[in-house]
Amino acid sequence: MGTNPNTDSKTIETRQSNLGRALVLHPVLRGVETVRSPEASLEEAVGLAAAIELEVAQAAIVKVNQPRPATLLGGGAIEQQAKLIEDAREAGEAIDLVIVDHLLTPVQQRNLETAFGAKVIDRTGLILEIFGARARTHEGQLQVELASLTYQKSRLVRSWTHLERQRGGFGFLGGPGESQLELDRRLIGNRIVKIKRELDDVRRTRGLHRKARAKVPYPVVALVGYTNAGKSTLFNRMAGADVFAKNLLFATLDPTMRQVVLPSGRKVILSDTVGFISDLPTHLVAAFRATLEEVQSADIILHVRDIAHPDTEAQKADVEAILTDLGIDPERDPRVVEVSNKIDLLDGAELEAVLARAERSGNACALSAATGERLDTLFRILDERMTAGRELVELDVEHGDGATLAWLYAHGEVVGRRDDDSHAHLQVAIEPATLARLGHPGQERAAA
């Protein structure tokens, strides 16, 4: 990815798209400190638009000296963009959608729509659309719909709606007219209640699955990270699998799991997850919380980073904020391993520095998921993690409880055994984390 927004919009223009042409605006508010450069932020917003195959006709950074309650953007900027939209229309290349890469109040959204004569969505709306287009599993679809409805309900503006898709349209584009969208709050409220109930059902089933998995208690290794960091590529590389990995923001939405045999012969369950992004809509975080619980209960959490990305530090901070939000302390939780990916894109001093940093830290490695370079360092850390902390425990198991006995033999090392009439008294070398699965399969465990 280059950093020039113009070249980016050009490359994206060549994409086949029948979803419409979009103008992407990234407002920069004066006096507001941001970690990322405006250019990088604009580029990310263009990437988000491309993620649902919108044709990005133009992309621009818009300076905002004084945010206006009515429109966010200033009068001059609005005029300028409105003229651009008008010109495009006259040239027969109408712009159907304006994406404002910022939070907009319902009023601001409405007023901008009037000023531009085009649909306007904000960052939250765009991300919700991507998730809506991407969700494959029933649960994923329900989660996105719940997030969208909650968002709509909170705004009382229905200029675009996920419900349109239910009627065969595609969200804000080419869907039925607004007059058909006269769903009142109560209707939305009812739908929310219904979805929540459905989600509960789906989750109960998933909970059962998780329990079943906990009975085959291989440690679960979850991949987390910023979108496009290379989680799915690493997943494929480790699992010899072929899941969708693409230079596309939010390529993965539904979590995927595979059993993987490490070179040492140890088995783990590898779990690919949805990527994170800065300013992730809170509605989405809430809706996806249950999915992210898979991460909370994982034995090892691999934080995959695109170490070659110019915003890699800001991305790391965003991911760590979400992990913290999930109750995982990225600094102290021993389950978190930092994986600096894409080292094939680095050379010289940069590469040296990344390798040295990984080397120094006990819980980090640097590799390339694409080339497989230094993948062994990750496997080594995983093996270390799984043998580390074995303790000798004494357990009394009833003879009748064959399942538990078999489980202990399979997952620990039984170093001593004495039988009496009712019980087997065992001495087992086992990791406390593994042992915890016996008592509470699939339950969250406090960080050791």
Ligand X SMILES: Nc1nc2c(ncn2[C@@H]2O[C@H](COP(=O)(O)OP(=O)(O)OP(=O)(O)O)[C@@H](O)[C@H]2O)c(=O)[nH]1
Residue numbers at the binding site for ligand X (CB under 6 A): 225, 227-233, 245-252, 275, 341-342, 344-345, 368-370
Among candidates 144, 146, 123, which has minimal Cα distance to 134? Answer: 144
Closest CB 240 distance from Mg ion, rounded Å: 16
Rg (alpha carbons) of the chain, rounded to whole number: 25
Rank residues 64 and 127 by Cβ distance to Mg ion and give the closer one.
Answer: 127
Is 41 near Mg ion (CB under 5 A)? no
Query: What are the φ/ψ torsions at residue 404 (nearest 5 degrees)?
Result: -65, -40
**Closer residue to Mg ion (CB): 251 or 322:** 251
Contacted entry of Mg ion, ligand X, none for residue 369, CB cut-off 5 to 8 Å set by kind? ligand X
Question: Is 339 near Mg ion (CB under 5 A)?
Answer: no
- How many CB atoms are located within 10 Å of the residue 204 CB? 9
Tell me if 232 contacts Mg ion by CB under 5 A. Answer: yes
71 or 315: CB nearest Mg ion: 315
124 binds Mg ion (CB under 5 A): no
Q: Would you give the distance in Å from CA 315 to the centre of its chain?
A: 12
Q: What minimum distance in Å lies between the beta carbon of 170 and ligand X?
A: 20
Nearest distance in Å: CB 251, Mg ion: 5
In the complex, which residue's CB is closest to ligand X?
275
> Quick check: 251 binds Mg ion (CB under 5 A)?
yes
At closest approach, how far in Å is the CB of 174 from ligand X? 25
Least separation in angstroms between residue 231's CB and Mg ion is 5
In whole angstroms, the minimum distance from the beta carbon of 1 to Mg ion comes to 16
Q: Which is nearer to Mg ion, 21 or 134 (CB)?
A: 134
Site membership for Mg ion, residue 252 (CB under 5 A): yes
Q: Per the structure block, which two tokens stand in for 391?
A: 């303790």
Considering the complex, what minimum distance in angstroms separates the CB of residue 432 from ligand X?
Answer: 31
Residues 6+ apart with CB under 8 A from 409: none
Q: Which is nearer to Mg ion, 248 or 397 (CB)?
A: 248
Could you say which of ligand X, Mg ion, none residue 344 binds, taking C-beta under 5 to 8 angstroms by partner kind?
Answer: ligand X
Indicate the residue among 119 and 342 with the shorter CB distance to ligand X: 342
- Residue 229 contact, options ligand X, Mg ion, none, Cβ 5-8 Å cut-off depending on partner type: ligand X
Would you tell me which residues interact with Mg ion (CB under 5 A)?
231-232, 251-252
